[in-house]
Structure 1
Amino acid sequence: MEFHNTLMEALEIEFIEIGEGKVIATMPVNNKTRQPFGYLHGGASVALAETVASIGAAALIDNEKEICFGLEINANHIRSKRDGVVTATAEVVHHGKSTMVWTIDIVDEEGQLICMSRCTVAVVPKKK
């Protein structure tokens, strides 16, 4: 999947797997994703988390008739990171008709937890 002129392109998010109920993507820790003190910005982690949850939700809906939007997200930033790559794995834990809930773990190259997040995604009919 390619996402030109989007936040995903700006943050260099790359999708590794988009499956039914599971999405994996990576994001570099670099000058685009660091806060002023040189560490991975919490907002960049949250953007990655919501991205994988939203793409996962979009894979589970009828895209001809429905669209999905992030409704709520929370994140706990567990460990800091200065450089390298982080990997987000999102898994659906609730798949309802109008909402989905996803858990997202973001880890470093050694599998250490950097951030854990939960995202609720709203599923709404497309306007005609």
Structure 2
Amino acid sequence: MSKLRPEYTIERLHERQKGTLPDLLGLRALSVDQGQLVAELTVRDQLLAPNGFLHAATVIGLADTACGYACLAHLPQNARNFTTVELKSNFLGTATQGTIRAVATGVHLGRSTQVWDATVTDPDGRTIALFRCTQMVLY
């Protein structure tokens, strides 16, 4: 099982995202611990679908980024990066305002692959999405 790499601080993760999709979404990583990462974003009109509800891509962007940052922070010492090879989402609810949060939890932290689950919750703490992704570790 990969251990948390202390060089991937919240500040370093925020620096890496400048000018990329997570930055555009307004994603904020809040904490990174062994086997877990917490991130959030504030819902705004630009992140809604034309029907007025939170766009699924916004939720996936939050969940996938939380899992990706967690994977990065848990790469084996000699690994250089990772890439997503599979992801799946189940949507159980939505939000139209406030802050949504993703908690990414490591399920399998191997040398060649990692599997991460994320639960996305609305401002009241209700689950709005369940997410799972598989990451290929790159050497």
Query: Given the superposition, is the C-alpha separation of residues 121 and 64 from structure 1 closer, same or farther in structure 2, using an over 3 Å criterion?
Result: same
- 8 Å contact kept, 1:20–1:56: no
Residues 1:104 and 2:118 are matched in the alignment: yes
Structure 1 unaligned regions, length at least 5: none
Query: Given the superposition, is the C-alpha separation of residues 45 and 63 from structure 1 closer, same or farther in structure 2, using an over 3 Å criterion?
Result: farther
SS at match of 1:80: coil
SS at match of 1:49: helix
Residues 1:71 and 2:119 are matched in the alignment: no
The structure that is helix-richer by fraction is 2
Q: Which amino acid aligns with 1:18?
A: V
Correspondence for 2:7:
none
- 8 Å contact kept, 2:31–2:37: yes
Mapped to 2, the partners of 1:91 and 1:56 lie a distance apart of 8
Correspondence for 1:52:
66
Deviation at 1:38, TM superposition (A): 1.1
Correspondence for 1:8:
22
Identity score, percent? 26
Structure 2 unaligned regions, length at least 5: 1-10
Deviation at 1:32, TM superposition (A): 2.6
Q: Which amino acid aligns with 1:32?
A: Q
The structure that is strand-richer by fraction is 1
Give the RMSD, CA atoms, in angstroms: 1.3
Aligned residue among 111, 121, 127 for 1:113: 127
- 8 Å contact kept, 2:76–2:111: no
Mapped to 2, the partners of 1:111 and 1:26 lie a distance apart of 12
Deviations 1:13-68 (A, max 9, x none): 00111122100000111123111111111111111111011100111114664211
SS at match of 1:103: strand
Correspondence for 1:80:
94
Correspondence for 1:42:
56
Mapped to 2, the partners of 1:14 and 1:112 lie a distance apart of 19
SS at match of 1:82: coil
Mapped to 2, the partners of 1:32 and 1:121 lie a distance apart of 29
Mapped to 2, the partners of 1:48 and 1:31 lie a distance apart of 16
